[in-house]
Structure 1
């Protein structure tokens, strides 16, 4: 498959996304799951222990400070679908303003985060990573808060894992997902419209709305 950033964006707009079997496999294929994972932007489950950890944390939240570092951290595992071409394509989308990273720092060290693609008011989450206890949970919760504040309406997680389900993730049918995607593509939202909130602010907003 001869993929370009433009073809990749078109794929997202019609509800499919690319993967490779593993990091050393040059072949890329499109995926269109029968069941689609979503993170409801008003349904993130923040447990008491997670809220307590976020209140006490001194980690700094950032967006787009180290996009490729975030992608590489997501790929730094025994099994990954992020090969060299996918890395290059998402970096091109980042340069175009259609891909973003959401990051947590302990001092100057990147300790957790995620990255994804934006179109309209949809955010297509690609992958996340954690180098500290709870880092991916904190990053996800803070990202949900950020997407809400910036006017996004759809957070696509592709698949529903046990980890995502424990945080409020759900599954919808392919047909239902396409309806939600079509609606999200009619609006406009900017991932960089607002700076990211502190972890403490995220917890405060969560407790006010729960």
Structure 2
């Protein structure tokens, strides 16, 4: 197990254990967070844990042009049920992501320390949010870290059916236009797979980052 110090570095990602755990400790400064994402690493821990850093193999990603839009979602988009904004209420999106209950999860990994860390990244123009509105009500959204050619998705939420799917589709479509390589989805879920995401090796993932 690699214990981080105040020095701004990480061990090689191929030294992670079989679950993907790479290192513990350190801090959540904007500089360390940015270095982590540029290196294929992300923090994931809960209130009762020290900071844990992960680089899983395989890695779940989405090629933006592989996004799958179901017939029902095409109708939602066609009917203009939702409207999208970007970076207008980043803090609210993070708060909802941390507080909206999810299936098979007792609590949240988005601790207060994590919230403050990503807000600091947002203030530097690196962390970004996509917000979904129904009328004047915020009903869904997502946030992540934008590396300029790779978008690292962190979390999403829905207060009404299909809201987070709408945000994810709009993200993929925009990044396809901007010729981004991939969206980093971190870990496999059936929901992400149903929308076109797939697993690739950590080695191939790192190539995209470089």
- How high is the TM-score relative to the length of structure 1? 0.82
Maintained 8 Å contact 1:25/1:83 = no
Equivalent residue of 2:60, what SS?
strand
Matches within 5 A, 1:111-190: 111-182=139-210
Partner of 1:60: 83
Cα distance in structure 1, aligned partners of 2:179 and 2:196: 20
Maintained 8 Å contact 1:116/1:124 = yes
Maintained 8 Å contact 2:82/2:163 = no
Equivalent residue of 1:42, what SS?
helix
> Shift of residue 85 of structure 1?
0.8
The alignment status of 1:4 with 2:25, answered yes or no, reads no
Residues 54-106 of structure 1, C-alpha deviations (whole Å, 9 max, x = no match): 21133210000110100111111242110011100100000000000001011
Partner of 1:86: 114
Aligned residues: 180
- How high is the TM-score relative to the length of structure 2? 0.82
Maintained 8 Å contact 2:28/2:114 = no
Equivalent residue of 2:64, what SS?
coil
The alignment status of 1:72 with 2:95, answered yes or no, reads yes
